[in-house]
């Protein structure tokens, strides 16, 4: 996974939160993530396929999910319900869609989003696909975008270098 593949996801995330729900995100330090680490309580998962295969997971605190839905739907949801899940799926869809547009040469298309809820759930990727976790925070709480994108020539060494480079972007 190359650094030029990560930045479109970072800029898409900050842009979608800014334009769609009026919230400024502060980015933390990207890292490689492995093993079973609990995700935030709500995770929207969307698949990418084309000249690269990948997965994007937008994982957010319960309160972030509820406030995102309130802002998108212009109505306060009564807890973590199907409206909130739909809103989170749509956010992941827009983020992946914008990133895809910036990575036009990979000719990727998107799957339908699925939304996972549950305290302490973990999301694991195949070990041969390096996964990069980009943490963010905002006034509502914290969230993270996790991206794995595999081309046939990927190697672990490249990913380590690219994550280091991404931190300086």
29-58: buried (b, 16+ CB within 10 Å) or exposed (e) per residue?
ebeebeeeeebbbbbbbbbbeeebbbbbbb
Is residue 54 within 8 Å of 102, Cβ to Cβ? Answer: no
**Cβ-based nearer residue to a copy of itself, 15 or 142:** 15
Is residue 27 within 8 Å of 145, Cβ to Cβ? Answer: no
Q: Taking CB under 8 A as the rule, does residue 54 contact a copy of itself? A: yes
Is residue 13 within 8 Å of 114, Cβ to Cβ? Answer: no
Q: Taking CB under 8 A as the rule, does residue 132 contact a copy of itself? A: no
Closest contact distance (angstroms) between CB of 45 and a copy of itself is 6
Closest contact distance (angstroms) between CB of 76 and a copy of itself is 19
Q: Taking CB under 8 A as the rule, does residue 36 contact a copy of itself? A: yes
Q: Taking CB under 8 A as the rule, does residue 118 contact a copy of itself? A: yes
Q: By CB under 8 A, name the one of 75, 101, 139, 151 that touches a copy of itself.
A: 101
Instruction: Give the C-alpha separation, 40 to 131, whole Å.
Output: 16
Stretch that binds a copy of itself, among 23-31, 63-71, 137-145, 159-167 (CB under 8 A): 159-167
Closest contact distance (angstroms) between CB of 60 and a copy of itself is 14
Query: Residue 62: left (phi > 0), alpha (psi -120 to 50), or beta?
Result: alpha
Is residue 46 within 8 Å of 28, Cβ to Cβ? Answer: no
Q: Taking CB under 8 A as the rule, does residue 14 contact a copy of itself? A: no
Nearest C-alpha neighbor of 149 from the set 87, 96, 89, 71: 96
Residues that bind a copy of itself (CB under 8 A): 15-16, 19-20, 34-36, 38, 43, 45-50, 53-55, 57, 81-82, 85-86, 89-90, 93-94, 96-98, 100-101, 109-127, 129, 148, 150, 155, 157-158, 160-162, 164-165, 167-168
């Amino acid at each position: 996974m190359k650094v030029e593949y990560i930045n479109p996801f970072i800029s898409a995330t900050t842009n979608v939160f800014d334009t769609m729900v009026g919230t400024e995100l502060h980015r933390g330090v990207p890292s490689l993530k492995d093993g079973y680490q609990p995700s935030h309580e709500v995770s929207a998962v969307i698949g990418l396929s084309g000249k690269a295969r990948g997965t994007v997971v937008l994982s957010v605190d319960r309160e972030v999910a509820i406030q995102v839905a309130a802002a998108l739907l212009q109505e306060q949801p009564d807890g973590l319900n199907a409206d909130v899940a739909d809103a989170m799926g749509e956010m992941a869809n827009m983020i992946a869609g914008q990133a895809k547009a910036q990575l036009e040469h990979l000719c990727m298309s998107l799957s339908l989003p699925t939304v996972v809820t549950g305290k302490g759930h973990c999301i694991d990727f195949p070990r041969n696909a390096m996964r990069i976790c980009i943490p963010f925070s905002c006034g509502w709480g914290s969230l993270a975008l996790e991206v794995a994108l595999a081309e046939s020539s990927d190697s672990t060494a490249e990913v380590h270098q690219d994550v280091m480079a991404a931190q300086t972007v």
